[in-house]
Structures are given as structure tokens and as C-alpha cells.
Amino acid sequence: METGKILQVECRHLHSRRSIVAGHGVVVIEGRYNDWGNFDYLGAGNDDNIRLVSLASWSFACIDREQSFTQILKKLNRNPSYPRLPQNANYQAEQKLAMGYIPLPHSLRQGSQTISWYRSPLIPDRNIRNNADFSRNTDRQITGIILRSQVVPGWPSLIIDGYSQSVSGLDFTPPDNLLPILRIEKLAKDVLICLFEGEVKTVDIYLKG
């Protein structure tokens, strides 16, 4: 670079677990070159920092390909354990858990804290609860999935379809036996539950094209 030039672009790359960030800046280097065209370090050592005036800076990021929607789904555990609590040595507590009760914190009127047993069906969506066809008294089979993954908060518009037919292989062709969805809801930031009417054997998770 010739003497008298006042701007220089500085690049840096910051790596994180999910993305790669590239930063750029424009700095002033006027008067920092000597008559021989060499940069004047003003006596700074190899490990010393050199201060330059920054005129502008910007950055951009790209997602690591291993953290894409498709790659995250490919790494899902296809043989997870059942969402059950471990066996409890307390017989009364085990009986309550077997009946569907769960222990929840309970604040008493006097201000003290205790634990109470609570049991309730999954609270359905308002439209489903008001639907006369959605009744616990009917003889119907309800199955579903619990998805715990970064795709839940990362892609909130994801779509889940369930089929009663098993489909294997990489070339997925949706079968005709699409199951009706009874409920789909986020239980936590990265946890989603989806219930189908019927026995689901294949799940297709995708984004609206």
C-alpha cells in the first residue's frame, strides 16, 4: 500500500457452535508508513496491540451447515426412551403416579408451601375442546410424538404430518393415509407435542415450500 492511503479493510472470523461470523472494519492508517513503504509500528513488540482509528465496521453471519433444518432432523434420536418417571420406592407415590397424578408446588393461604397431587387430561386447544367430536368417552386410538429439538424454536413454522403406514428409505413419498391432527402445541421452548387420531407409524417434518 502506498504512503498517503488512509483506509484499510480489516477482516476477522469468529466461530461459534451454530454459526460463522465474519467482521470487517475500515480504519485510518494515514501517516503510519515510512519513506520506504513499510508500516511504522512505533516500537511496538510482537505481542503488543496497535490502536487504529475505526471509521466503520460491519459483520455478517452464515449458519453452520451442520445446524441446518435438515441436518438437525437427521440427528434426531429415533429410538428414545419412553417419557416415564423412574420406579419410586414410595408405594403411595407410585400409586398416585400410576393413576396419572403429578406432584406440583402448592401455596397455602397461610403462606406456607407444600406439594399437592394434581391430575388432569392434556388441556386441548379451545377449538378442539368445544368440538363435540373430541370426546374422551369415545372408543378411539390416539397416538403422537414428543419432539425435543432445536428445530422447534429455530423454525416455528414447521409442519408435521403423520401417517398410519410405515415408510422407510431416503426417498420419501407421502402415502395416502394421512392421520388427522388432534393437537399440536409447544410444551417448552424446544419441546413440541403432536397428537394424531389413529396409530402413527411415520412422521414427516418439513417446512412450507
* pLDDT, tens only, 112-124: 999 888 887 653 4
Q: What is the DSSP letter of 121?
A: -
Lowest mean pLDDT among 10-14, 156-160, 174-178, 187-191: 10-14
Q: Which pLDDT value is given to residue 89? A: 83
Where do the domains of the chain lie? 7-67, 69-81+122-206
pTM above threshold 0.85? no
pLDDT of residue 43: 76
**CA dist., res. 183 & res. 194, Å (int):** 6
User: Are the beta carbons of 134 and 180 closer than 8 angstroms?
Assistant: no
Q: What is the pLDDT of residue 180?
A: 93
> What H or E segment, with its residue span, contains residue 104?
strand 102-107
List helix spans (H) across 75-150.
91-98, 126-129
pLDDT at 196 over 90: yes
Pairing of strands 7-15, 19-28: antiparallel
Contacts of 152 (CB under 8 A, 6+ apart): 158, 186, 189, 190, 191, 192
User: Comparing 76-80, 120-124, 139-143, 187-191, which segment has the lowest mean pLDDT?
Assistant: 120-124
